[in-house]
A = this chain, B = another copy of it.
Amino acid sequence: MTIEASKAEAGAGRVRLGMVGGGQGAFIGAVHRIAARIDDQFDLVAGALSSDPARALASAAELGLDPERSYAGYAEMAEAEARRPDGIEAVAIVTPNHMHAPVAKAFLAAGIHVICDKPMTLSVDEAEDLVGKVEGSGRLFILTHNYTGYPMIRQARDMVASGELGEIRLVQVEYAQDWLSEPLERSGSKQAEWRTDPARSGAGGAIGDIGTHAYNLACFVAGMEAEELLAQLTAFVPGRALDDDVQILLRYPGGARGMLWASQVAVGNENALRLRIYGTRAGLEWAQEEPNRLWFTRLGQPRQLLTRGGAGAGPAAARVTRIPGGHPEGYLEGFATIYAEAARAIRAARAGEETPPEVTYPTVRDGLAGMRFIAAAVASSQAGNRWTPIG
């Protein structure tokens, strides 16, 4: 377990962090802040927390930021922080989707590492442009596909990579919620409003909000991206501008096939992200709502229940595990692992070193893959559910 290791790392010096977005009332900003605190490897010292200046200031005060480092706009913040000797080393971008790329580019240009929420951009073009910017900048870009931080997901990925499943045949992933079963966007829910608004969310609704999480997770564990897909996107709620249900067939390299279902109208589901992968030799199953468990079955053997911190969990899980088996880690700890990995990479960069090989986080290229997935799904659906190459 890394509970002490992470402390040792922290001794190497916390990372100075800024945040764009995440002011009062914003859910995901608070999540990022908790995630950054859990392993004590960041100091939040600057922010442009809201596009509304009053709210930005109030939010900064609440967080105890130096008023001088609470900025009215992200561009000003990037410039000012770059000039400070104690300026931020990294920025966390937790705005609505349409602001991700502009903000990221401003900070990259200022030489500051970026930690960015998903989906990465509004379009593939914008994503490709951002890849170029990141790769030209020499700066790090960490995309917070937080579900890849769960220890048993690391375990699963490692088992696939090491060949324990044999050749992969099936990648079945689903992500079911029910909170958009009714038109909340017309009764004052800000969360529902921007997620169902093409101007702020891009061409995809559920596909961008949760479908990309599902696809990213499947690819992360399977160790490969799909080649083509066939998608049917549906808006079940009358009048909704973006899809609230997504049904997709996927083809992976080597003949593997998959299904992806993402829905925000599946009554009785809270956040039911579930992944199942079957190979020639073994199969595994994992569900986000019980993240500390991983079902694993070798063909012809009894089912095994591997647990975080318990028997059967190997080094890939152990290095992102904080506390012993049976003491459940949750969503915030999985998210914190993305931040801890980011800190390790940033400290290496600070020392002029490569990111250590075991450090794992979703990159700008994963973000591009996600945007290509969304674009292909939208195109396939509009073309009458035809097979469409991804990217």
Contact = CB atoms under 8 A, between A and B. Distances in A.
Interface in A1-59: 3-4, 7-8, 10-11, 14, 24-25, 27, 30-31, 33-34, 37-40
Contacts of A10: 62-64
A198 B33 CA distance: 43
Given A302-B305, A329-B332, A283 B269 contact: yes
Interface stretch (A81-89, A126-134, A271-279): A271-279
A121 interface: no
A73 interface: no
Contacts of A330: 292, 327-330, 332-333
A267 B282 contact: yes
Copies of this chain present in the complex amount to 4
B270 A325 contact: yes
Interface in A370-391: 384-385, 387
A240 to B, nearest CB: 12
B281 A267 contact: yes
Contacts of A11: 61-64
B177 A326 contact: yes
Interface stretch (A106-114, A258-266, A358-366): A258-266
A272 to B, nearest CB: 7
A365 B384 CA distance: 31
A319 interface: no
A59 to B, nearest CB: 8
Contacts of A31: 3, 323
A158 interface: no
A247 B249 contact: yes
A70 interface: no
Given A14-B64, A283-B266, A297-B267, A328 B326 contact: no
Nearest to A327: B331
Contacts of A34: 3, 38-40, 322
Contact of A276 (B266, B302, B312): B266
A280 B4 CA distance: 32
Interface stretch (A218-226, A230-238, A345-353): A230-238
Nearest to A30: B3
A170 B263 contact: yes
Interface residues of A, number: 96
User: Which of A3, A302, A331, A332 neighbours the largest number of chain B CB atoms within 10 Å of its CB?
Assistant: A302
A144 interface: no
A257 B281 contact: no
Given A247-B249, A323-B31, A307 B302 contact: yes
Nearest to A260: B259
A283 B267 contact: yes
B303 A278 contact: no
Contacts of A303: 268, 304-305, 307
Contacts of A298: 267
Contacts of A288: 326, 328
Contacts of A185: none
Nearest to A299: B267
A262 to B, nearest CB: 11
Contacts of A270: 307, 309-310, 324-326
Given A267-B299, A303-B304, A331-B327, A27 B7 contact: no
Given A3-B30, A384-B387, 15 more contacts: A33-B40, A34-B39, A37-B40, A177-B326, A247-B259, A267-B278, A267-B279, A271-B326, A288-B328, A289-B292, A289-B328, A301-B311, A304-B305, A328-B328, A329-B330
10 contacts: A10-B63, A11-B64, A33-B40, A37-B37, A178-B297, A236-B255, A249-B385, A266-B283, A268-B295, A290-B290
